[in-house]
Amino acid sequence: MTSSSPYVISGASGHIGGAIATSLLALHLPVRVIGRSPSLLAPLVAKGAEAAVGSLEDTAFLTRALAGARAAFVMIPPNLSTPDFAAYSARVSAAYVDALKTSPATHAVVLSSIGAHHATGLGPISLLHRHEARLAELARLHQLVLRPAYFMENHLQGIPLITGMGIYGSPAKPELSFAQIATSDIAAVAARRLAALDFSGRSVVELLGARDYTMLESTRILGTAIGRPQLPYVPFPYADARGAMISMGISASVADGFVEMYQGFNGGLAAATQPRSAATTTPTTLEQFATAVFAPACAAKGHARG
């Protein structure tokens, strides 16, 4: 490899991949970004990235995208409309493995999830368990597997419910306390480790955000940020949540996976296995996220505070 060997970033049109690519470009490192849409990759191309447009399910495309690579950020992007999420995940995972076998890339940061040590019981997270296992067979590839906690950005999906019905809710138990993390913090860790290439062999790091929160506490924090400190939290029955997801255009397969994931969360399967430390704790609090991201997102939808 030469100094021009690129860092190849999957999911570059999303929150995490895009922020990783931007950070590496700011360090004047060569970056190749993968995405399905030229228009969504255009802002990164304008900053100096090379675009690779295609599907991660296409082994031939992914092989070309990883040609000459120095390192890669590996993730399976969400596909909410796929009729069989397990099959979709397996196709992308297999394509990565085949492409990385022939790529000169020596290092990969792999995006997984907290709870991925469980082979079953957590829906899409359990599929990441299988993805990790496939990648682990690539013994020559140095891998840093990041298992972040529940994304704070998931709360953004509740904005229509908050503004339309004056409540916030999910299938998660109200008093269940679990780690939550801002995707910007995940991207910061991934970009720093990719730039340094300071890992060898295969290692797993859970990313646990600043601290744990219950959904009752989360609702109070989010509500306060938008001027609704008394915003109530309503735990939804699994069947109702599944029906709501399907009515939003999410496939039955994906909805079933999310329901299983929430069942696993409520059963404690997504609890952290690593202690909080400098390596597992990230800086952004939910209070900061609520002010900087959640409240502006509400305002952008044209809803006033109060």
Predicted confidence at residue 302, as pLDDT, reads 59
The predicted model gives 222-236 an average pLDDT of: 97
Cβ proximity of 7 and 69 under 8 Å: yes
Q: What mean pLDDT is predicted for residues 183-198?
A: 98
If 0-12 CB within 10 Å is exposed, 13-18 middle and 19+ buried, where does residue 285 land? middle
Distance between CA 128 and CA 93 in Å, rounded?
A: 9
Dist. CA 251–CA 247, nearest whole Å: 9
**Residues spanned by the domain of 198:** 7-150+180-207
pLDDT at 42 over 60: yes
**pLDDT for res 3:** 53
**Is 237's pLDDT higher than 60?**
yes
Reported as a pLDDT band with limits 50, 70 and 90, residue 303 is very low
Instruction: Kindly state whether residue 276 falls inside one of the protein's structural domains.
Output: no
pLDDT confidence bin for 272, thresholds 50/70/90:
very high
Closest CA to 178 of 118, 244, 113, 231: 113
In this prediction, residue 305 carries a pLDDT of: 41
Q: What is the mean pLDDT of residues 122-148?
A: 97
Within a domain: 115 = yes
Pairing of strands 71-74, 202-207: unpaired
Distance CA 24, CA 12 (A): 12
Q: With respect to residue 106, please indicate whether it lies within any of the assigned structural domains.
A: yes
Residue 304, pLDDT above cutoff 60: no
Q: Is residue 290 part of a domain?
A: no
Q: How many helices (H) and strands (E) does the chain have?
A: 12, 12
Rounded to an integer, the average pLDDT of 216-240 is 97
What is the rounded average pLDDT of the residues 210-226?
Answer: 98
The CATH number linked to 134 is: 3.40.50.720
Q: How many Cα atoms are found within 13 Å in the side-chain-facing hemisphere of 206? A: 20
Q: Does residue 39 lie within any of the structural domains?
A: yes
Q: Which amino acid is at 89?
A: S
Residue 102 in any domain: the answer is yes
pLDDT at 301: 82
In a domain, 299, yes or no: no
Number of domains in the chain: 1
Share of the chain above pLDDT 90, in %: 96
**Cβ contacts of 41 within 8 Å, gap of 6 or more:** 12, 13, 33, 35, 49, 51, 53
Could you tell me the CA-to-CA distances from 288 to 34, 130, 163 in Å, in that order? Answer: 30, 34, 21
Mean pLDDT of the chain: 96
User: Whole-angstrom Cα distance, residue 224 to residue 168?
Assistant: 13
CA 210 to chain centroid: 17
Residue 151: helix, strand or coil by DSSP?
strand
Task: From residue 269, give the alpha-carbon distance in Å to each of 22, 78, 146, 190, 272.
Answer: 34, 21, 17, 25, 9
Which residues, 6 or more positions from 66, have their beta carbon under 8 angstroms from its beta carbon?
Answer: 8, 72, 99, 100, 102, 103, 105
Per the domain annotation, does 229 fall within a domain?
A: no
Burial class for 266, CB neighbours closer than 10 Å (0-12, 13-18, 19+): middle
Q: Does residue 235 register a pLDDT over 90?
A: yes
Tokens 């938008």 belong to: 226
Asked if residue 101 has pLDDT above 60, the reply is: yes
Dist CA 170 CA 184 (whole Å): 23
Residue 4 predicted with pLDDT over 90: no
Instruction: Give this prediction's pTM.
Output: 0.95
The alpha carbon of residue 137 and the mean position of all alpha carbons in its chain are separated, in whole angstroms, by 23
- Residues in a beta bridge with 146: 111, 205
Check whether 306 has a pLDDT greater than 50. Answer: no
